[in-house]
Amino acid sequence: MTTTLDPKERFQFGKNWSRFLEHLNNDRILEAEKSLKEKLGCEDLNGKTFLDIGSGSGLFSLAAYRLGAKVFSFDYDQDSVNCAKYLQEKYAKNDPRWNVEQGSVLNKDFLKKFGKVDILYSWGVLHHTGHMYQAFENVADMVNDGGLLFISIYNDQGGASSRWKSIKKTYNNSSCLTKLILAYYTLFRQWSITFVKDFLTSGNPLKSWINYGKNNRGM
């Protein structure tokens, strides 16, 4: 059996998640719980097993835990793992109902330890592995009968997606100066028109920016 390896060149999301947790409060946690209930079509997760693949900040693992699930969280990025462990220590200290560890969705032997779960949740993760279809194949059979496989990935926007792929690849292979230039370019490209529209419609150019900062995902 051929093992699919994780690519060495990856964006390290964990440092961003660490900064996000500095501003995490109860309102954002409640918003995450509300979002999770809406997405999964339930009021609680009592008695359910919840596997969070690519747990990032750990916010939605925390939400699932608070809704009653037995939670397993893992991420490939160690800084992200540390974020989830921080929340686990703060909100679920010594509770075996929430387990956090480092691992890869591309590692079939690692995934075997989880068996089948009631809810497999992976938001905006599998396309970042470098082997998206292999990741799909690895998780497709991990959900109990009647359970939920909840996956979110990027949609293919043709030329726009190709351009952003090129920018991201360049970013991951560049010097600090080039990364800074690309970051400012992206900020301008993504927000300049929105700033103008918000100013013309509401008089507040930062209206969408502020609302975006309050979103329940933390991205």
* pLDDT tens-digit series, residues 44-62: 999 999 999 999 999 999 9
Distance separating alpha carbons of residues 185 and 157, to the nearest angstrom: 20
> Above 50 in pLDDT, residue 1?
no
* pLDDT tens-digit series, residues 188-218: 888 898 989 888 898 888 888 777 665 545 4
- Which strands form 49-53's sheet, in the order they lie side by side? 98-102, 70-75, 49-53, 117-123, 143-152
The torsion region of residue 203 among left (phi > 0), alpha (psi -120 to 50) and beta comes to left
Average pLDDT over residues 54-77: 96
CATH domain 14-152 topology: Rossmann fold (3.40.50)
In 3D, which of 33, 68, 74, 31 has the Cα closest to residue 52?
Answer: 74
Whether pTM > 0.75 for this model: the answer is: yes
Instruction: Please report, as a single letter, which amino acid is at residue 41.
Output: G
Token look-up 């359910």 returns 48
Enumerate the domain spans of the chain. Answer: 14-152, 159-213
Residues 6+ apart with CB under 8 A from 106: 4, 5, 6, 129, 131, 134, 135, 138
Average pLDDT over residues 7-33: 78
More confident site: 117 or 155: 117
